[in-house]
Amino acid sequence: MLEMAAASEPGLYRAGVAGDTFNTAVYLARAGLDVAYLTRLGDDSFSGDILRRMREEGIGTELVERCAGARPGLYLISNDARGERHFHYWRDAAPVRSLFDQPLPAPDAGLFYFSGITLAVTRSGRDNFLRLLGELRARGCRIAYDSNYRPQLWDSVAQAREYNRSVLPLCDIALPTLADDCLLWDISTVQACRALYADAGTGEIVVKAADLTAQAFAGPLHAQRRAAPVRALDTTGAGDAFNAGYLAARLNGASLDDALRAAQALAATVVQYHGAIIPREDATQDH
Collect all residues with Cβ–Cβ distance below 8 Å to 6 and sequence separation of at least 6.
12, 13, 14, 77, 78, 79, 234, 274
Write the DSSP symbol of residue 65.
E
Do 52 and 26 contact (CB within 8 A), yes or no?
A: no
Cβ contact 71:91 at 8 Å: no
- Residue 118, classified by CB atoms within 10 Å of its CB into exposed (0-12), middle (13-18) or buried (19+), is buried
Among candidate residues 188, 184, 230, 223, the one with its CA nearest the CA of residue 209: 188
Instruction: Round to whole Å and give the CA distance between 195 and 202.
Output: 10
Give the active site residue among 108, 172, 240, 282.
240
86, 112 contact by CB (below 8 A): no
CA 278 from centre of chain = 16
| Cα–Cα distance, 278 to 34 (Å, whole number) | 20
CA dist list (Å): 153 to 88, 92, 233: 12, 10, 26
d(CA 196, CA 201): 9
For 43, how many CA atoms within 13 A lie in the half-sphere containing its CB?
Answer: 4
Distance CA 265, CA 245 (A): 8
Is 240 assigned a catalytic role?
Answer: yes
Residues involved in catalysis: 240
